Amino acid sequence: MMTDRKFANTLARGLSVLRAFRISDDGLSHSQIVERTGLSPATITRLTYTLKELGYLSQNGNLLRLGPSALALASVAQTSTSFLDLAEAPMQELANQTQTLVLMAVRDGGSMTLVRTWRPRNAGSIWLETGNRVPMARSSTGQGFLAGLSEGRFAAMDPDEELIQQRKDAHAQLAAQGFVFVQGEARFSQTINAVSRPFFASDLGEPVVFGCGATPAELTDERILAEVGPMLRDAMRDLELKTGGRRALDQLRT
Amino acid sequence: MMTDRKFANTLARGLSVLRAFRISDDGLSHSQIVERTGLSPATITRLTYTLKELGYLSQNGNLLRLGPSALALASVAQTSTSFLDLAEAPMQELANQTQTLVLMAVRDGGSMTLVRTWRPRNAGSIWLETGNRVPMARSSTGQGFLAGLSEGRFAAMDPDEELIQQRKDAHAQLAAQGFVFVQGEARFSQTINAVSRPFFASDLGEPVVFGCGATPAELTDERILAEVGPMLRDAMRDLELKTGGRRALDQLRT
DNA sequence: AAATACAATTTCGCATAGTGAAACTGGGAG
DNA sequence: CTCCCAGTTTCACTATGCGAAATTGTATTT
């Protein structure tokens, strides 16, 4: 069946165990991991044993958490992502000016994971945290990513009809306005309003997404279209120049 | 030979590929990975193929880098490490007061990896970056870690005579002064002077290390012993209280 | 205490996934 | 053109990782 001689299954399964962890979890039991990964209990025992040996997981009682080696890998990964340095200042500035949460997200399997956020100075509300996951469908973040994703890679996700349609919309928005905004009913979350734009990071081989978000009260549809969206777009065009990367719209052709 | 039925070898090998990446690398070729991991070229082809499929690696030409999935895992790992929040303010304060680089490191395989640094405000020099690795032997960071490590875990590293002796010294220093300082000739690096203290993070299941470092000119042996070491110790006792974790010295008994 | 109900681990026989050696490919360099 | 090296593919073998089921362990209830 799984007849890809090149694909190391055990490795993929082990990594899926690591991917099972969410920031909102305060440790996971084996059975929770079984549930999330769909792997058999025996397999989980073997994989977690291995990951513990290597320091990627650590155990307290029968709860597992990501361990020191995961943290170490984390640091190397983040520090190696060179454009994060350059994004630092302008994104903080954008957060301050718009009084929204500015975020950067990458694709992780079928959803988007926030890898960095910038909060406006002296704002107290509760915001999305780094490490949070957002679905691909019906979110500005996910759609912003899809708008930047090449045909080939999109096809590899074997998307359903709905997603294909959504991506088409996102494309159109990106081309017309320079940003993507999933509006109204379609939004997966009614408590957050957001706008996004893809960024092609040559480091990573596929697009990432930057975006601005806040509650619908603070960030109305009108403000997004007239003010915040354009500011995001301009900030990112600047960033694209500085990093010498391809422009977001060039990706549409790929 | 490798007769541990529970240990998933392929997973370990795959992770060793990820661990091969250093922040100073600007992408790695297959042959470099072969060299660093000691695995056969054929194996590397298969493992990197898998890791690319999953987004943990990305390829530019024939250079590999850590990919988006690695970044995503990174964010979850860092955000899940709860005591980092609490350490934030006091460690920045410590950096400002001592005008040293304050660092936090975890064990990763046989060496220590910096996972977070705090630089003094308005200091311009070049400092160690997050993601850097420091050897276990002959470094204040490594020795601080060993001083906090339990007998059992230390034994599992099957250390040589030299390391056992160094650890004994570190223990003694920690008990006497509340910090560990590898001095003079013994230091692995003559360009950095540092002092450290272990911290037992219940999250991670094994100690981590906090430390202060700078050039020997800025941070003399005398200053470490009289001023910076004690300040580090006090800052961390504070942190231990706040996190409700065990005190560093309690670990000596384990 | 005994009984119940899960959670986690170990056992076990089997199919195959992953292995290294060696052959092959491809693309610079001279 | 041909040499050389990096990377890939092929191949036959066997150790490896697999799930089902049995076993042990650990709370919870009666």
Model pLDDT for residues B180-216, shown as the tens digit of each residue: 999 876 778 888 999 999 999 888 889 999 999 999 9
B61: left (phi over 0), alpha (psi -120 to 50) or beta: left
The answer to whether residue A16 scores a pLDDT higher than 60 is yes
Joined tokens for residue A27 = 């440790």
Average pLDDT of B211-227?
94
pLDDT for A172 equals: 96
B121 touches strand C (CB under 7 A): no
3-state secondary structure of B21: coil
Residue B163 to residue B167: CA distance in whole angstroms: 6
A30 touches strand C (CB under 7 A): yes
Chain B residue closest in CA terms to A19: B73
Out of A9, A49, A114, closest to residue B6 by CB: A49
Joined tokens for residue A48 = 């977690």
Q: How far does the CA of B49 sit from the C1' of D1, in Å?
A: 34
Chain A residue closest in CA terms to B53: A7
Q: How far does the CA of B53 sit from the C1' of C12, in Å?
A: 34
Q: How far does the CA of A37 sit from the C1' of C16, in Å?
A: 22
Residues 6+ apart with CB under 8 A from A179: A144, A173, A195, A196, A197, A229, A230, A232, A233
Contact B67 A13 (CB under 8 A): no
pLDDT for B146 equals: 97
Name which of B219, B159, B167 is nearest B193 in CA terms: B219
Q: Which of A1-15, A72-86, B141-155 has the lowest mean pLDDT?
A: A1-15
DSSP 8-state secondary structure symbol assigned to residue B100 = S
3-state secondary structure of B159: coil
pLDDT for B253 equals: 40
How far the first Cα of chain A sits from its last, in Å, is: 32
pLDDT for A1 equals: 46
pLDDT for A188 equals: 82
pLDDT for B1 equals: 47
pLDDT for B245 equals: 57
Q: Which domains does chain B have, with CATH numbers?
A: 9-72 (1.10.10.10), 81-252 (3.30.450.40)
Percent over 70 (pLDDT), chain B: 93
Q: Which of A43-52, A58-67, A179-188, B55-64 has the lowest mean pLDDT?
A: A179-188
The answer to whether residue B76 scores a pLDDT higher than 50 is yes
pLDDT band at B251 (very low <50, low <70, confident <90, very high): very low
Mean residue pLDDT across chain B: 90
The DSSP-derived string for B184-210 is: GGG-S-TT-EEEEEEEE-TTTSSEEEE
Contact B14 A8 (CB under 8 A): yes
Express each pLDDT in B97-113 by its tens digit.
Answer: 999 999 999 999 889 99
**d(CA A226, nearest CA chain B) in Å:** 32
pLDDT band at A252 (very low <50, low <70, confident <90, very high): very low
**d(CA B194, nearest CA chain A) in Å:** 20
pLDDT for A230 equals: 97
Name which of A39, A45, A7 is nearest A20 in CA terms: A39
Average pLDDT of A78-87?
90
pLDDT for A249 equals: 55
Average pLDDT of A93-113?
95
pLDDT band at B128 (very low <50, low <70, confident <90, very high): confident
pLDDT for A60 equals: 87
B10 touches strand C (CB under 7 A): yes
